[in-house]
Structure 1
Amino acid sequence: MDTVSVTGRLARTAPTVALIVGAALAADYVLNVLIRGVPADFTPMTTVIIASVVATPLAYWLHSQRLRLEELRDALSVSLESKQKAVEEAQEALAKYREADRLYRLLGDNLTDHVALWSPKGERIYSSPSIERISGYGAEEFLRLPPQAMVSKADFGRVQKIIRGLTPGGAPVSADYECVRKDGSVIWLESTYSLLGDGSGILLVTSRDITERKRLELDIAKALELAEAASAAKSDFLANMTHELRTPLTAIIGFAEVLRRSRRLDETAARQAGHILDASNTLLSVVNDVLDFSRLEAAGLELDPAPFDPAAMASSCAALVEERADAKGLTVVVEACDTIAPMNLDGSRLSQVLLNFLSNAVKFTARGGITVRLCQTVEGDQALLRAEVIDTGIGVAAENREAIFDRFSQADAAVSRRFGGTGLGLAISRRIIEHMGGRIGVDSVEGEGSTFWFEVRGPLADAPAAPAESVEPLNAEAGVRLLLVEDNAVNRELVKAMLEPFGVVVETANDGVAGVEAMRQGEFDLVLMDVQMPVKDGLTATREIRALEGARGAATPIIAMTANVLPEQVANCLAAGMDDHLGKPISPSKLLEAVARWAGRSHAA
């Protein structure tokens, strides 16, 4: 103990020493003076000295003990406060634990998903009560089931393979499988497997009942299958109807063309034959529109971009309607900006749209003229092409301008009765332009005229390849020997009437079997082959003919002449070994051009 501490403690014991000394003086005085009556024996100084000597150590000791007791008291008080605080904290933690345990149990008891823990040995060590709702087994009962219970051997093996591939703390993996409930009913479960990352090797599995979802998936799959079947049936119906409509139109249009060109008819009969031909072509246009729109709805639109010249396209389309326009006293003018560069787009589709605009302009214009206007804005290696067809016709009312681009829609019933038509042309045009990422519309003043326009953007291209050299026309000295395989007698007569005046010798076969036999017995420069025939169809007959010619090292050109004109049908013809395709109804000019192009040709088998 240091000197300062001792000195301080002695100073604090002075009052006690003074009290003891005072008590000793009082006792000496009372004893010697008051009781004994001997004042001489009262010695205050001696008493003070003796009392001080005795009292000082005693007071010091008493004060030290009191200080120790105070320190013990303070330490005990601190200890009691610490213990009280620890008890309170323990009670608070216990309350929180009990609340958490209650909430976890409440959560476990009310989970719709099942939670299970598996030991590294593959034993169930926990199952949430929701298992009873899912499987019919109670939690304790479920824990006693073997691992492979409720699932098939194949599913159990698949799940085990998933578990073996897990890594501790890694991403969970899910699997769907069928499960047999306690009552024997079958449900679908989706389970997610994960290994805990604490090194315990415990497997956590969460499972949920997805029976309703699976039922919906199966219903959707069934509905999709039915929709695909309906689409296939629609395509089959479309193909059959196309064939059935085009087959009689072949005879009607073909013989009308033959009669119109005949010099043996008088003026009235020739005019009537022309009316038949015009009406037949109108009917063919309707069939083509319905076929085209149905094809767009069923299979979408496939574009075939290639370099093309927009100016040449506009001129070609204008030339196609020029004869009809002249008949109505209308002029058709093509205007173009300074320079129209070639572009890489589907030129045939754009021609289809522009020709539809022009056909409508001729149909709905009684006097005045029609102007085709092209403009192009070049932006780097891209260009924006705008095409307009301006007429002086009946115009379109403001409330009908958007509706005319809908299918089966015209401006109003009066227009439909007066001018006819299916109302599909503009709907097809809009689908084509929008599929190209472009815009299409109409500006019109009713009674004054309309401007139908479209805008498409595409890359610039080099000049398109020059057209192939024109084919030399047939003449009577050509000596072409042709085999016509056709089951329809009227069509056989029509083809002979079209070709024989040009020196083509036509031999006929009325089905595929007869066609193969004719090729086996003789030699021909060319074969015109129908596709849909009894006994043996044209595709099978073509394959057999190609097999016969295989040993010769050369093959006779075979042209499909059929009402099967859908893209996939044309592809089937080429895949069977045919060289070209002519769609019915037959155009006399296209037939003569095809015969002239292929007659006398042969190619490697």
Structure 2
Amino acid sequence: MTPAMVRDRIFRAAPTVAVIVGAALAMDFLYNVVVMRRPDAFTPLTIFIIASIAGPLSFWLTDQKIRLERMHADLSASLDATQKAKDEADRRRQEAEDALVKLSEAERLYRLLGDNLTDHVALWTPKGERLYSSPSITRITGYSADEFMALPPTAMVSDADFKRVQGVIGRLTPGGPPASADYECFRKDGSAIWLESSYSRLGDGSGILLVTSRDITERKQLEMDIAKALEMAEAASAAKSDFLANMTHELRTPLTAILGFAEVLRRSRGLTRTAARQIGHILDASNTLLSVVNDVLDFSRLEAGGLELDPGPFDPAAMASSCAALVQERATAKGLKVVVRAAKGLAPMNLDGPRLSQVLLNFLSNAVKFTAHGTITVALGQVVEGDQAVLRGEVVDTGIGIAPEHREAIFDRFSQADAAVSRRFGGTGLGLAISRRIIERMEGRIGVDSIEGQGSTFWFEVRGPLADLPAPEAEDAPPLNADAGVRLLLVEDNAVNRELIRTMLEPFGIGVETAHDGVAGVEAMRQGQYDLVLMDVQMPVMDGLTATREIRAMEGARGVATPIVAMTANVLPEQIATCLAAGMDDHLGKPINPTKLLEAVARWSGRAHAA
């Protein structure tokens, strides 16, 4: 303790000592003099001495008390701090213990996850060294984790797959999106499996590559099975198309002779009435068969998704008149009247006119078939909306009508109102199904309104842009006559068809020379000059396409090419395109229509062009 502190304590204690001395003297005086009345007992000096001693003693005792209180306070504070420190230590120890428990649980869960993970997880250094492999590698590859860690990266995959995967990894960016690849992998036992791996670079600056892989062998097998099934389905579809094309060809070829000679006989003047009627029956039956063939062919193409629309400008009113004219002869034979009512000012439109004609003709054919007497009306209406228009076509008949329960079903394939209708009127039940597919392909509507026993109204509505009709082409081919002097080469393997074409053309002064296959046709063109070639396609020895190519190659040196018209039962659009691509100028489908044959001869004979 410093002197200044001592002096300070003395100065602070002096008033206390004075008070004590004064109090002691006062007490002694009061007790001995006043109370006891013994003045001799009053000893102020003794009291003073005692009080003087008691004062410092009191000061010392007071000081000690203060020190003890201070020490007690310090000790209490120290104990409190110690307790707080102990409590804090206990709290932190508990937190540490809890953290250790959580860490242990997390490690257990991570180990459990790693041990039971179906996918394989691996970590690689930027240099391509393995850092970690999850235990699932054993289940996937048969290698233990230690064995796998020791394998070189190329040990389990082919060189091509390894290079491809390295290319995928090389395009990764740290923290960027992952990339994936699938590849064939070889297990420890040598068996092959398929893996799908996802690759990503960690974005923490370490450049570590994270790879997760899974076994996709079953999925890959399923994909290969599906691909194989698809290939088989495509092969089956191709076989179906080939079968359809071949059957169509085989059916159309004899129909050519049947229809052609029946038409020739029908026009003959030497037939009796009975023979003429029987020839008419042959023509009707043959046309019915041809209609069936056409319907089956059309519907098969629609079923295969082969309907491609070819929009172009057309005149709706002209379409209706043309369709009505096609059924007029059959309607007249039954005593029916066909009327066309087109709204005034029908504007040309840009739609697939031939397809709409097919729909309208199906409606008309059904109307003629199912109407015994009365009138068949073709009605066309149009609503113009800016540069678009909605065309509505209707065919109204006075025929047998349709029961309400059958109205929807008649647009299904192979469906007619009932079995009795099929037996009585015949037909495949495909015409309306084809019509519905066409209209739906045009995103239009089709339907029927009917009252059983009173008649039906078949209708369609389609939307399309308005159009301007192109200027009509000038007719530069004069009609054939006996003095035309046309020299024609017919290349046809079927002897009956050769006779038929000759019979159809010779009355018009056309000189017809024939060749029985493509080789003979090429040789005939090498030896002679012709105004036109009618070329069959499917022939033995050399087909018509090859023959056409050889003729065109031969004509290349001359610089002038003779018109070649395909005359074949191959009538599918792709088959027609193949004919034109081979160098042919036009196409006539079998069975041959005499009028179209004469038109083609008149159009192409003598129109040689640059080779």
Tell me whether the two structures share a fold, i.e. TM-score over 0.5: yes
Note if contact 1:376-1:385 (Cα within 8 Å) is conserved in structure 2.
yes
Q: Which runs of 4+ in 1 moved over 6 A?
A: none
2:530 corresponds in structure 1 to 524
Partner of 1:478: 484
Deviation digits for residues 484-543 of structure 1, max 9, x if unmatched?
111111111111111111110111111111111111111111111111111111111111
Q: CA RMSD in A?
A: 2.5
Match of 2:208? 202
Within 1, Cα distance between the matches of 2:536 and 2:340?
41
* Structure 1 range deviating more: 46-55 or 499-508: 46-55
1:39 to partner: Cα distance: 8.6
* Letter of the 1:279 counterpart: A
What is the CA–CA distance in structure 2 between the aligned matches of 1:140 and 1:353, rounded to whole Å? 74
- Spell out, residue by residue over 1:386-445, the C-alpha distance to the aligned partner (whole angstroms, 9 max, x if none): 111111111111111111111111110100000000111011111111111111111111
* Aligned equivalent of 1:357, options 351, 358, 363: 363
2-structure distance, mates of 1:224, 1:410: 34
- Distance in 2 (CA, whole Å) between partners of 1:165 and 1:140 is 29
Counterpart for residue 317 of structure 1: 323
Q: Mean alpha-carbon deviation: is it higher for 94-103 or for 187-196? A: 94-103
Residues 124-143 of structure 1 mapped to structure 2, 5 A cutoff = 124-143=130-149
Residue 236 of structure 1 aligns to a residue whose secondary structure is: helix
- Residue 409 of structure 2 is aligned with which of 399, 403, 410? 403
Q: Confirm whether residue 381 of structure 1 aligns to residue 384 of structure 2.
A: no
The residue aligned with 2:90 is: 84
Q: Which digits, 9 at most, give the CA deviation of each residue in 1:22-80, with x for residues without a partner? A: 9x99xxx9xxx9xxxx9954556435433333334333333322222232223223222
AA matched with 1:244: E
Instruction: For 2:100 and 2:327, locate their aligned partners in 1 and report how far apart those are by CA, in whole Å.
Output: 95
Q: CA deviation at 1:337?
A: 2.7
Whole-Å Cα distance in 2 between the matches of residues 543 and 374 of structure 1?
A: 47
- Give the secondary structure class of the aligned counterpart of 2:610: coil
Amino acid at match of 1:296: L
Contact persistence 1:116–1:205 (CA under 8 A): yes
After superposition, give the CA deviation of every residue in 1:162-215 in whole Å (9 maximum; x if it has no partner): 223322112211111111111221111111111111111211110000000110
State the distance in 1 between where 2:169 and 2:257 align.
Answer: 72
Deviations 1:543-601 (CA, angstroms, capped at 9, x unpaired): 11112211221111111111111111111111111111111111110011111111111
Q: Which moved more, 1:207-216 or 1:465-474?
A: 465-474
Change (3 A) 1:285 1:596: same
Q: Does 1:252 align with 2:271?
A: no
Q: Is the 8 A contact 1:115 1:127 kept in 2?
A: yes
Written as runs of structure 1 = structure 2, the 5 A alignment for 1:134-153 is 134-153=140-159
Whole-angstrom CA distance in 1 between matches of 2:569 and 2:80: 114
Per the TM alignment, residue 471 of structure 1 is displaced from its structure 2 partner at its CA by: 4.3
Write the mapping of 1:275-290 to structure 2, written as runs, cut at 5 A: 275-290=281-296
**Paired residue for 1:587, among 585, 590, 593?**
593
**Structure 2: 5+ residue stretches without partners:** 33-40
Output the amino acid matched with 1:541: A
Offset from partner CA, 1:206-261 (integer Å, 9 cap, x none): 00000001100110111111111111111111111111111111111001111111
Pair 1:187-2:173 in alignment: no
Q: How many residues align?
A: 583
Cross-structure match for 1:230: 236
Could you say what secondary structure the match of 2:122 adopts? Answer: strand
- The SS at the match of 1:341 is coil
Partners of 1:468 and 1:209 in 2: CA distance: 71
Name 1:70's counterpart in structure 2: 76
SS in 1 for 2:207: coil
Match of 2:128 among 103, 122, 134: 122
Give, in whole Å, the separation in 2 of the partners of 1:464 and 1:367: 40
**2:219: which partner in 1?**
213
Tell me how far apart the structure 1 counterparts of residues 295 and 477 of structure 2 sit (CA, whole Å): 30
Could you tell me which residue of structure 2 aligns to residue 296 of structure 1? 302
Read off the aligned partner of 1:290 and give its amino acid letter.
V
Deviations 1:302-342 (A, max 9, x none): 00000111111111111111121122121212222333211
Query: Is the contact made by 1:308 and 1:464 (CA closer than 8 Å) also made in structure 2?
Result: no
Output one character per residue of 1:105-153: Cα deviation in whole Å (capped at 9) or x when no partner: 1211111100011122322221111111111122222222222222222
- Give 1:464 shift: 4.2
Aligned residue runs from structure 1 range 322-341, under 5 A? 322-341=328-347
- The residue type paired with residue 157 of structure 1 is K
Q: Which residue of 2 aligns with 1:3?
A: none
Q: Cα offset for 1:268?
A: 2.5
User: For residue 433 of structure 2, what is the aligned residue in structure 1?
Assistant: 427
User: Which amino acid is 1:262 matched to?
Assistant: S
Q: What is residue 512 of structure 1 aligned with on the other side? A: 518
Q: 1:169 aligns with which of 164, 175, 182?
A: 175
2:609 is paired with a residue whose SS is coil
Matched, 1:99 2:105: yes
Please tell me whether residue 597 in structure 1 is matched to residue 603 in structure 2.
yes
Deviation at 1:466, TM superposition (A): 2.6
Separation of aligned partners in 2, 1:39 and 1:300:
147
Is 1:157 equivalent to 2:172 in the alignment? no
Contact kept, 8 Å, 1:176 with 1:191, in 2: the verdict is yes
Aligned to 2:552: 546
Matches of 2:340 and 2:137 in 1, distance apart?
79
Match of 2:566 in 1: 560
Using the TM superposition, give the Cα deviation of residue 264 of structure 1 relative to its aligned residue in structure 2, in angstroms: 2.0
Q: What residue in structure 1 maps to residue 497 of structure 2?
A: 491
Q: Which runs of 5+ in 1 are unaligned?
A: 1-5
Provide the C-alpha distance between the structure 2 equivalents of 1:120 and 1:569, rounded to a whole number of angstroms. Answer: 60
**2:35 aligned residue:** none
- The farther-off stretch of 42-51 and 71-80 is 42-51
Instruction: Give secondary structure in 2 for the equivalent of 1:193.
Output: strand
The 5-angstrom pairing of residues 559-578 of structure 1 reads 559-578=565-584
Name which of 501, 507, 532 aligns with 1:501.
507
Distance in 1 (CA, whole Å) between partners of 2:520 and 2:170 is 67
Separation (CA, whole Å) in 2 of partners of 1:379 and 1:457: 10
Aligned partners of 1:465, 1:72: CA distance in 2, in Å? Answer: 116
Give the TM-score, by structure 2 length: 0.91
Stretch deviating more after TM superposition (47-56 or 529-538): 47-56
In structure 2, the residue corresponding to 1:175 is in which secondary structure? strand
Task: Determine helix, strand or coil for the equivalent of 1:552.
Answer: coil
Worse-superposed segment, 61-70 or 397-406: 61-70
3-state secondary structure, aligned to 2:247: helix
| Alpha-carbon distance in structure 2 between the residues aligned to 1:409 and 1:60 | 121
The corresponding residue for 1:108 is 114
Matching residue's letter, 1:238: L
* Contact 1:342/1:464, CA 8 A, preserved across alignment: no
Tell me the distance in 2 between the aligned counterparts of 1:467 and 1:281. Answer: 32
Tell me how far apart the structure 2 counterparts of residues 470 and 339 of structure 1 sit (CA, whole Å): 31
**Whole-angstrom distance in 1 between the partners of 2:212 and 2:127:** 18
C-alpha distance in 1 between matches for 2:303 and 2:350 = 25
The residue type paired with residue 472 of structure 2 is A
Q: Decide which of 382, 393, 396 is 2:399's aligned counterpart.
A: 393
